[in-house]
Amino acid sequence: MKLWLLFSGVFLLAASPVHSDPLLGGLIDEALKNSPEIQASQARIEAARLRIPQSGSLPDPMFMFGYQNETFDRYTYGEMQGSQWMFSATQQFLFPGKRRLKEEMTARDAESLEAMHELLKLKTVVRIRELYYDLFLAYKNIDLLKEKGDLLARIESLTLARYTAGKAMQQDVLMAQTEKYMLLEKQEMFQQKIQSLEAMLSSVVGRYKGPALPRPSEPTYQPFPLEVNAAIEQAMQHSPELKSRNKMIEAANSRLAMAQKEYYPDFALSGSYFNRTGEFPDMWSATATINIPIYFQTKQKPAVAEARVNIHQAGRELEVTRLMIEAALRDNYSMLRLSERLMDLYQKGLLPKSRQDIEQALTGYSTGRTDAVSIISRLKILLDYETLYWGQLVEREKAIARLHAITAGQAVGGEKR
């Protein structure tokens, strides 16, 4: 009866509707707020935004002051016409359009970082979900081992009773006891795995010397109604990684336009004032200076060619990213559907059959028709199937979490984080 309730609970779990897990949601919110990696990414974005006005700013003006004297033997200010104090200011101006292009380049770079920041948050959520589900599975495996330990204790009692009555060999008792200790060994191994997973989860969340993590809740069923091609279309439209790559292409195009603008000269305007006291009137002057890009064969022309190559590279990287996203989505989609098929196989076939075999073997052993080896082997098979079932359930939830990240939350119902 206990085993039947266990498998009935498994079926109800798979058929239950979606609902949020407060513990998992709290860990995700904490990570998005406290993760050092996310905070560092946000700082990079803020720094990139601050570079935008810098890139479009004019060069600093130059101020010059000095004195001009006639003869070397005495100070002749006010006595000779050429002796004077000189003051001038110079402001350089870029060729029209260059400042705008520089702002565009830095703005696209900042937008690319913003898109990658969103991708980082999605990956962080996925990592937390994966560790959370692995932690749940470790606890669940311990539960399964304890349940089988109780059943082994029942088998051990049967073997002792039959051995005392002279109906069984001592080997049957020792075999049951050995299997019981082996289950205890596995429990200890899972306890160590729990500690390791908790440490990794705390690290991703950004929790340092915080409260201990409680036991995870059982994963809730999340439907994935989209077919693979529809999911790919959603990913291509909403993926932050693709948005980042597109911003890189836009920045590369701005750099090409800027490299082409470098064929045109910049110029500087200067105004000077010459103070000559006494009978000599003061003077002023205004000048304009331009640079002449005569070395364009070794400077501007290679820069334009480099910018074109960078555009080509960015375009190919975009295609590579699209292919990788499609491959990752198809891989996780196939993993999701495979897990569902295996779970259905375990629920409707292997688990009920294994449970029935154990009940029959226990009945047969009590009447002397079955040996202890048969019972223990059936028990191990049941434990393997139960472990595989819960493992597939966790793999299914992890695949959905990864699909959620690949499609930027567009393919799965529920609240988008």
pLDDT of residue 168: 58
Q: How far apart, in whole angstroms, are the C-alpha atoms of residue 153 and residue 177?
A: 8
Q: How far apart, in whole angstroms, are the C-alpha atoms of residue 152 and residue 10?
A: 22
pLDDT of residue 367: 66
pTM: 0.81
pLDDT of residue 380: 81
Q: What is the pLDDT of residues 96-111, one digit of tens each?
A: 999 999 999 999 999 9
pLDDT of residue 146: 85
pLDDT of residue 166: 63
Dmax of the chain from CA atoms? 139
pLDDT of residue 33: 92
pLDDT of residue 6: 36
Neighbours of 112 (CB within 10 A): 22
pLDDT of residue 15: 33
Q: How far apart, in whole angstroms, are the C-alpha atoms of residue 129 and residue 135?
A: 10
Q: CB–CB of 265/293 below 8 Å?
A: yes
pLDDT of residue 3: 38
Q: Is 222 helix (H, G, I), strand (E, B) or coil?
A: coil
| Selection from 8, 234, 258, 212 nearest residue 108 by Cα | 258
Q: How far apart, in whole angstroms, are the C-alpha atoms of residue 205 and residue 27?
A: 7
**Between the CA of residue 257 and those of 101, 107, 290, what are the distances in Å?**
7, 15, 21
Q: CB–CB of 159/173 below 8 Å?
A: yes
379 Cβ partners below 8 Å, 6+ apart?
A: 148, 151, 152, 155, 179, 358
Q: How many Cα atoms within 13 Å fall on the side-chain side of residue 94?
A: 16
Share of the chain above pLDDT 70, in %: 86
Q: State which residues of the chain have pLDDT below 70.
A: 1-20, 156-176, 210, 365-372, 410-417
Residue 415 gets the label, from left (phi > 0), alpha (psi -120 to 50) or beta, of beta
401 Cβ partners below 8 Å, 6+ apart?
A: 125, 126, 129, 130, 133
Neighbours of 319 (CB within 10 A): 10
Burial class (CB in 10 A: 0-12, 13-18, 19+), 232: buried
Q: CB–CB of 122/410 below 8 Å?
A: no
